[in-house]
Amino acid sequence: MAYLACAILAATALALGLHVWSMRRAARQIVRELSEKLSEDTNTLISLSTSDREMRRLAAALNRQLRILRAQRLRYRQGDQELKDAVTNVSHDLRTPLTAICGYLELLEQEEKSEAAERYLTRIAERTEAMKALTEELFRYSVVLSTDQDMAPEPVDLNAAVETAAAGYYAALTARGIEPVITLPEERVVRSLDRAALNRVLSNLFSNALKYSDGDLDVTLSADGRIAFSNTARDLDPVRVGRLFDRFFSLEAARNSTGLGLAIARTLVERMGGSIGAGYEAGRLTVTVSFPGDAPRAPS
């Protein structure tokens, strides 16, 4: 009897051990497959080799959630594409009447006007130019987010790129009383980047400084490929700085901005394999772009 009892206990323990092993194996399979389904763009579902009822019920519940998640992702993609198409169409539709308005304003400039009419026309021209700038920003946004726009990397001298961008914005900065301080390393910093995309990023960052600076701007390029734009910005705070890269976020509508400049910059930087971020400390806004990686030095 004692031998029979020991045999039954051993068989029971073996069966329980096999069941536990099977459950652990099924759990690992679920974890692996769930991770694959979430990371890949696929319509396949979790499949199990075990016949355990509870584990199969768990897999079925996860599959239901995967179907819901995929349906939501599809709706998001469709809505995002519809938004991009709408932005493109609106920017195109605005260009024609704005061009006509500018043409008529130029004709009016040649006519005799009273002092009041001259003042009013000046204001109209200013607002029209602002609308043209906003329309162009919307158009660039739709182009940048086009999925079929590929990067064309080539060796780019970051020192020269920063200097060129700073020179292009020097007049606009000094007109606002901002004397930019540009700090570059002695050695040339070269990275494999899309030249046009980099120029757009730097242009948007200088434009951002024009909007938010309280009168100063420090631009520093480090030897490790990091470019920091730092300026005093007392109107900002950490919460709003955290939203600067959000699409259509703008501190004030009166600043003539769609809030797309930094969103475009982030998209382009990430496509080139870099990173971009913003911080706020002691009343100073710092936007940092980083292009890591070694590249051959440009000839001196």
Asked if the structure places residue 102 within a domain, the reply is no
Nearest to 262 by CA among 189, 210, 195: 210
Q: Among 75, 103, 128, give the residue marking a domain's end.
A: 75
Q: Among 75, 105, 125, give the residue marking a domain's end.
A: 75
Nearest to 208 by CA among 247, 257, 152, 159: 257
**Helix ranges, 110-187 (H):** 115-144, 158-175
How far lies 115's CA from each of 33, 118, 125, 128, in Å? 75, 5, 15, 20
Average pLDDT over residues 189-202: 93
Asked if the structure places residue 269 within a domain, the reply is yes
Query: 2 pLDDT exceeds 80?
Result: no
Tell me: do 162 and 286 sit in the same domain. Answer: yes
Tell me: do 172 and 47 sit in the same domain. Answer: no
* CA–CA distance, 213 with 203 (Å, rounded to integer): 15
Tell me: do 173 and 273 sit in the same domain. Answer: yes
Average pLDDT over residues 26-55: 77
Structural domain count, the chain: 2
> Which residue would you say has higher pLDDT here, 119 or 96?
119
User: pTM here?
Assistant: 0.60
> Which residue would you say has higher pLDDT here, 145 or 40?
40
How far lies 127's CA from each of 106, 242, 256, in Å? 14, 30, 9
Residue 132 CB partners (closer than 8 Å, separation 6+): 98, 102
Asked if the structure places residue 142 within a domain, the reply is no
Of the ranges 21-35, 50-64, 83-97, 192-206, which is most confident? 192-206
Q: Render pLDDT for 270-281 as a digit per residue (tens, 0 to 9).
A: 989 999 999 999
> Which residue would you say has higher pLDDT here, 89 or 178?
178
Asked if the structure places residue 175 within a domain, the reply is yes
Q: Which domain holds residue 162?
A: 156-290
Tell me: do 170 and 50 sit in the same domain. Answer: no
> Which residue would you say has higher pLDDT here, 29 or 168?
168
Query: 52 pLDDT exceeds 50?
Result: yes
pLDDT in the model for residue 254:
39
* CA–CA distance, 71 with 75 (Å, rounded to integer): 6
Mean pLDDT of the chain: 81
Average pLDDT over residues 157-175: 94
Q: Among 22, 49, 75, give the residue marking a domain's end.
A: 75
Query: 300 pLDDT exceeds 60?
Result: no
Tell me: do 61 and 174 sit in the same domain. Answer: no
Tell me: do 54 and 160 sit in the same domain. Answer: no
Q: Render pLDDT for 103-162 as a digit per residue (tens, 0 to 9).
A: 888 888 888 888 888 888 888 888 888 777 777 777 777 666 665 557 789 999 999 999
Tell me: do 285 and 167 sit in the same domain. Answer: yes
pLDDT in the model for residue 299:
40
Average pLDDT over residues 163-177: 93
Tell me: do 58 and 164 sit in the same domain. Answer: no
Asked if the structure places residue 135 within a domain, the reply is no
Nearest to 292 by CA among 194, 189, 219: 189
Tell me: do 175 and 274 sit in the same domain. Answer: yes
* CA–CA distance, 93 with 257 (Å, rounded to integer): 19
DSSP secondary structure code for residue 298 in this structure: P
Amino acid at 63: N
Query: 46 pLDDT exceeds 60?
Result: yes
Asked if the structure places residue 297 within a domain, the reply is no
Nearest to 216 by CA among 284, 165, 160, 282: 284
> Which residue would you say has higher pLDDT here, 182 or 140?
182
Asked if the structure places residue 107 within a domain, the reply is no
CATH number for the domain that contains residue 225: 3.30.565.10
Asked if the structure places residue 26 within a domain, the reply is yes
